[in-house]
Structure 1
Amino acid sequence: MTDTTRDSAASSSGSREPVVLWSKPEAERPGTPLLVLFHGYMANEEDLMGLTDHLPEEFTVASVRAPRPAGPGFSWFPLPDEPDYSMESVVESVGAVASWLDGVCGAHASVSLLGFSQGMAVATSLLRHRPRDFTCVVGLSGYCIPAEGHGFFRDEEAAAARVPFFWGRDQEDPIISAEMIETTHAWLTTHTQLTKILYSNMFHSISQRELAHVREFLTLTVRS
């Protein structure tokens, strides 16, 4: 298992920086490609760190904790079918991550994103907000947020940038609705350079076969 370090500190504005679990100590991070992980609903920053051992060794991995307590873990924003869901809750959460990234990205050779479930909604929203900031994005068993014409999402720039995107899922996933899948597929095919792979008997999870494909995708995309 990879050694990890955890950051949580007040920013210069007095607001709290997100809790972040790092795969490498700070002295070993400069110049490495950065991969930022976003966990799913009711999970936490430790949930995806087990993936690190299946990813290219040269990457620094940073797993970020969502800001809102939810059940045994945390959420990035209310789910779309919850009464307190709003575009502003999405923008606030994703905007905070973008501000944190501003403070760390300069130390790295590149920045890529990986999100699982609700974390994929965060990763795709970051891509839509800053389409030219990321080398590639990995989305696992998740979805895109409907933009509803909000100015936070720069979809025209994303369509021009065509960032490489890996999307893995199971058609029998019981969590992500068919409507959300349709919305996500429509956006990804028109705004990214999409690699889409379906996995049977994975349901709402991550499989070893999928991780092998993610490793290959990151290696080829970030090193090329």
Structure 2
Amino acid sequence: MTENTPWNPVVLFSKPEAERAGTPLLVLFHGYLANEEDLMGLAEYLPGEFTIASVRAPMALGPGYTWFPLMNEPDFSVDRVVSAVQDVSDWLDSIRDQHTSVSLLGFSMGMAVASTLLRHRPEEFAAVVGLSGFVVPAEGNAFFHDEELAELKVPFFWGRDQADPVIDEPRVEYTHGWLNGYTKLTKVLYAGMGHSISMQELGHVKEFLTHTVLGRR
């Protein structure tokens, strides 16, 4: 979006507006070609104390939406990632003050969005959950404040199947190294899950959010 036209995303909330103030916020970011409804089914398996907000990506594509071009496409760039995430960050600024904390959860490409938000403003997020996804190389872009994040060591849950057919090995290796270096990482592997989310994983995510966010309110 341009400076004069702020992004107004399509967002689904788990609580009516009158019940959101004073609650911790958990923002969900869907994957490639999905939409804001894709992850809202997770809400019933996550701690009820959270207000959950599921955000639609800005770019319509095929049957759904995308945050930015795929990394193997010629029009991918870190600048495209930054542009999308800056819009999300600006939107979050408009609602964050009514919540006790803000945490992030991203699936697949949505994990790249969540982790990039964390890297932009590390001090503003209580915890991040990444499911079957990846992080993007910063390539020296000033949007990323990784050294600041390294000092804070924000809790980060990363769940995946070692045989995930979608996220390739170079991205997995980069993601693993980056998460180990810059976050307080909880990594769990789920055999037979593929590129999806399992009930066992959701149980672990609920425990993680309860311990890292609700336990310190």
TM-score band w.r.t. shorter chain: over 0.9
Partner of residue 184, structure 2: 193
Partner of residue 138, structure 2: 147
Contact 2:23 2:49 in 1 (8 A): yes
Partner of residue 32, structure 2: 41
Instruction: Tell me which amino acid in the other structure corresponds to 1:143.
Output: F
SS of match in other structure, 1:139: strand
Instruction: Tell me which amino acid in the other structure corresponds to 2:174.
Output: T
Partner of residue 218, structure 1: 209
Contact 2:7 2:87 in 1 (8 A): no
Partner of residue 9, structure 1: none
In structure 2, runs of 5+ residues without a counterpart are none
Root-mean-square deviation (CA), in Å?
1.4
Partner of residue 106, structure 2: 115
SS of match in other structure, 1:132: helix
Runs (4+) of structure 1 exceeding 4 A deviation are: none
- Once the two structures are TM-superposed, the CA of residue 223 in structure 1 deviates from its matched residue by 1.7
Partner of residue 148, structure 2: 157
- Once the two structures are TM-superposed, the CA of residue 192 in structure 1 deviates from its matched residue by 0.4
- Once the two structures are TM-superposed, the CA of residue 81 in structure 1 deviates from its matched residue by 0.5
- Once the two structures are TM-superposed, the CA of residue 88 in structure 1 deviates from its matched residue by 1.1
In structure 1, runs of 5+ residues without a counterpart are 1-11
1:68 maps onto 2:59 in alignment:
yes
Residues 23-102 of structure 1 correspond to what in structure 2 (within 5 A)?
23-102=14-93
- Once the two structures are TM-superposed, the CA of residue 15 in structure 1 deviates from its matched residue by 3.2
Instruction: Tell me which amino acid in the other structure corresponds to 1:191.
Output: Y
- Once the two structures are TM-superposed, the CA of residue 14 in structure 1 deviates from its matched residue by 3.5
- State the TM-score, normalizing by the size of structure 2: 0.97
- State the TM-score, normalizing by the size of structure 1: 0.94
Contact 2:29 2:55 in 1 (8 A): yes
SS of match in other structure, 2:159: strand
Q: Distance in 2 between matches of 1:13 and 1:214?
A: 38
Instruction: Tell me which amino acid in the other structure corresponds to 2:15.
Output: K
Q: Distance in 2 between matches of 1:196 and 1:149?
A: 26
Percent identity of equivalent pairs:
63
SS of match in other structure, 2:25: strand
CA deviations on 1:67-100 (whole Å, 9 max, x unpaired) are 0112100000001101111111111000000000
